[in-house]
Structure 1
Amino acid sequence: MPQPSADTPNSFGHHISFAEALRVWFKIALLSFGGPAGQIAVMHRILVDEKQWISESRFLHALNYCMVLPGPEAQQLATYIGWLLHGVRGGLVAGGLFILPGFLSILVLSLLYAGYQDATLVQGLFFGIKAAVLAIVIQAVIRIGQRALKNHYMYALAATAFCALYLFSVPFPAIIMLAACAGLIGSRLAPQAFAHHDAHAPAKHHAIDTMMQGEPRHTQASWLRAGKVLSVWLSLWLVPLIAMLATLGGDHVFTTIGLFFSKLAVVTFGGAYSVLAYMAQEAVQHYGWLAPGEMLDGLGMAETTPGPLIQVVQFVGFMGAFRQPGSLDPFTAGVLASILTTWVTFIPCFLWIFLGAPYVESLRGNRAISAALSAVTAAVVGVMLNLAIWFAIHVAFNEVTTLEHFGMNLLAPNWRSIDLASTALTLAAFVAILRYKIGVLPVILSSALLGMLITPFL
């Protein structure tokens, strides 16, 4: 029997094989450093620029939807595009692989942290990688901004979003809603400025847009399909919680962890930073899972390992069960809590994508919706810039306070506490990435090695 050529469209309407996609998603997972800005930039570079599997407009359309969802937008974007390429199987592989390296990395680091918290080499590892990640985040903000901010309207939206978040701590969902409203108004007052260019005529060589004949069956929305998605994914999410509540009781640490992080999964608009303060307060003061200051150590793990920043919840769950193991060995309890925390955090992410993506695809031709989502993208650039500056200040300075003046919250670093070694490492990483185009992974590995070498002398 003759075999189809590599250019023969498959059942999903394009020529991309599942095996090839699996290799690419694994590569993206290994390179998903630098938080959402860096991760989105990596996906854009590989999927849009290098592989040319998806057009700029379709990538941004998917990204805009993921930005308004609770949970990690980069992981949900990978799930969305994987689903678009190969249906539910593709979404599970893309989203699951995106989580796996970070889960394994943080599990190992949590074990090291619990057993060898004061080890100099472990401190040096975090010190070096953190500097490299800051450079990656800054570069990613520049790259995404260049693509999303096409005119002065978009620059104004990005600047407004940045000021609202950085100076006034306006909630992220409010920023997104206001940006969407601005886009809807802009679609009537200045339609060309708010339109996705080429939204109806995708780029010539992008596989999804040029090979698909009509809309594949798996992208078509229906009430029957929505009902099936809800029944499957709500069961996967809620049945384990109900079982723990019935067998272990409401006061058991596993039940508490499952319920607490399930609640967080539906309110984490804006990523890990948006709920960090609340999570730290509950974990430290209410549940006693962490000591003061350990939350930042956990965030450092999430920032310096591949995968979503919200993976910091895994460290919190590990330490909670490690310190309240009951009849289990503390390390065994910590590992089980890591799995539970990751499960209840990310199962909802797959639910949001598999339930909503077909409806989002059907809205690609709606000019008003496209304008609203374009405005959201511009606002998110301002949000990314806020995160980059927050991160930069905390990497470069050892002492940072928050000043409140005229209703504004200003980060005020103590200039005498500047960390010259960390700043120098960051500048070197930034020059290597931006000027000499060195890859992300070599820069991170080099920075980690330098961090471990110089930390004993600091």
Structure 2
Amino acid sequence: MNAPPYTLWQLVKYMLGLGTWGFGGPVALVGFMYRDLVERRQWLAESDYKEGMVIAQLMPGPLAAQLAIYLGYVHYRVRGATLAGVAFVLPSFVMVVVLGALYRTYGGLAWMQAVFYGVGACVVGIIAMSAWKLTSKNIGTDKLLWAIFLASAVTTVVTQSEELWLFLGAGVLVWLVRAPPKFGSAGTMQAAAAPLAAAFSLQAVDWHRLAQIGAYFAYAGTFVFGSGLAIVPFLYGGVVKEYGWLTDRQFVDAVAVAMITPGPVVITTGFIGYLVAGFWGAVAAAAATFLPCYLLTILPAPWFKRHGKRPAIAAFVDGVTAAAIGAITGAVIVIAQRSITDWFTAALAAATALVLWRFKKVQEPVVVLAAALIGLAVYPLMRG
């Protein structure tokens, strides 16, 4: 095996940077990883990226964090997966803890609505461009992949969720069409599954509330599929309805914090944990959320590395990838429905996409900062 064209610490530095400046949620973040690591720097092969996307879609947990973990695993195995995952999540965790402290001290963050007014619309433009790049690069002119892409996009828009059965079905369909199994032979496709991390030992924790937080968020991280956005309605049912840890207003603010901070959207669990039980509540919630996705990424990774190049597996991967990109494209519309509330936010989203398409060297953090400042200035006028 040839030496990788990058060091582990270069990858860790990149993930730290992406976790610090990567706005736009899971759709944008997976697009950034493809652009930076596959296209521009050529550190990773396209096949490695596709395998990572398949694992991230088939296993429960936040999409972007799982992809970062897998890409760290490709050349540096468990050590690379661990360091890449921590580097990706750590910056946003620090940010939400600081925001949580400010929130508790000052009784809310009124300015957040104004910032999210601008940033939310800007994010729609960013993820639309990411979805377009992924589609044009991976779908090509293959009619079967286009059919899967469109079906997945429409399903995502209609159901406002990502359906695991659709990813699996797409993979099986392309496998059967391109590389049908020879029944009775030893070469039939094996199941790409990993055991679920069903429970976590919290016996050493003395505080009952921390134990509740850890158990609940471990459950959420283990059994919720799809992007980080998919966990939001699930969390609402537990955090607000079942346990009563937060009010409706606090929960909405927690989601807004996740949207206006870089890194994975699911880091909102850290903010929620802080509001419930302070710093150690944030640690317990974030760690419990991300541990299942870490385990469920590195456990099947060796199998994918050994068998991922077989025609049957490659066809399965292509099918799942097409469905995943369709779901990402559908998510653009779902997020737009929530973030575009008037003519100004619609114009801001369109302007963002146009700027990123026309001026290739413009960095997304600059666009997001500009949108936040615009939101602070315009929101009072639009709501006045």
Which of 321, 327, 335 is equivalent to 1:391? 335
Q: Secondary structure at the match of 1:22?
A: helix
2:77 aligned with 1:116: no
Q: Describe how 1:225-236 pairs up with structure 2 within 5 A.
A: none
The gaps in structure 2 that reach 5 residues or longer are 181-193
Aligned-residue CA RMSD (Å): 2.6
Alignment of 1:69-88 (within 5 A): 69-88=59-78
Deviations 1:390-445 (A, max 9, x none): 11011112xxxxxxxxxxxxxxxxxxxxx233223222222221222321111011
Computing the radius of gyration from Cα coordinates, the structure with the larger value is 1
Q: CA deviation at 1:278?
A: 2.7
Residue 143 of structure 1 deviates from its aligned partner by 0.9
Do the aligned partners of 1:65 and 1:373 also contact (CA within 8 Å) in 2?
no
Mark the runs of 5 or more structure 1 residues left unpaired by the alignment: 1-8, 190-225, 322-332, 398-418
Deviations 1:238-293 (A, max 9, x none): 23x1223xx44xxx322211111111111121123333223212221221122224
Instruction: State, as a whole percentage, how many aligned pairs show the same letter.
Output: 26
2:68 corresponds to 1:59: no
Q: Which residue of 2 aligns with 1:184?
A: 175
Instruction: Go from structure 1 to structure 2 and tell me whether the alpha carbon gap of 1:429 and 1:112 turns closer, same or farther (over 3 Å shift).
Output: farther
TM-score (norm 2): 0.88
Match of 2:203 among 242, 262, 267: 242
State whether structure 2 residue 378 is matched by structure 1 residue 450.
no
The aligned runs of 1:413-428 (5 Å cut-off) are 419-428=342-351
Task: State the Cα distance separating 1:170 from its structure 2 match.
Answer: 7.3
Structure 1 CA distance for aligned equivalents of residues 343 and 49 of structure 2: 39
Q: Given residue 148 of structure 2, which amino acid in structure 1 is its aligned partner?
A: L
Aligned residues: 368
Cα pair 2:91 2:263 within 8 Å, conserved: yes
Give 1:317 deviation, angstroms. 2.3
Q: Residues 454 and 270 (structure 1 numbering): CA distance in 2 closer, same or farther, change over 3 Å?
A: same
Q: Alpha-carbon deviation of 1:117?
A: 5.0
Letter of the 2:81 counterpart: G
The answer to whether the aligner puts 1:157 opposite 2:80 as a matched pair is: no
* Residue type at the aligned position of 2:337: I
Contact 1:157 1:375 in 2 (8 A): yes
Contact 1:30 1:306 in 2 (8 A): yes
**Which of the numbers 13, 21, 24 marks the counterpart of 1:31?**
21
- What is the distance in 2 between the residues matched to 1:455 and 1:114? 24
Contact 2:60–2:224 (Cα < 8 Å) also in 1: yes
User: Is the aligned partner of 1:292 residue 2:248?
Assistant: yes
Aligned partner (choices 285, 296, 320) of residue 341 of structure 1: 285
Amino acid at match of 1:382: G
Q: What residue in structure 2 maps to residue 202 of structure 1? A: none
Rounded to whole Å, the distance in 2 between the matches of 1:284 and 1:44 is: 36
Q: What amino acid maps onto 1:363 in structure 2? A: H
Q: 1:170 to 1:448 in 2, by over 3 A?
A: closer
Change (3 A) 1:425 1:93: same
Does the 8 Å contact 2:22/2:364 carry over to 1?
no
Alignment-mate amino acid for residue 163 of structure 1:
V
Contact preservation (8 Å) 1:172, 1:274: no
- Look up the match of 2:189: none
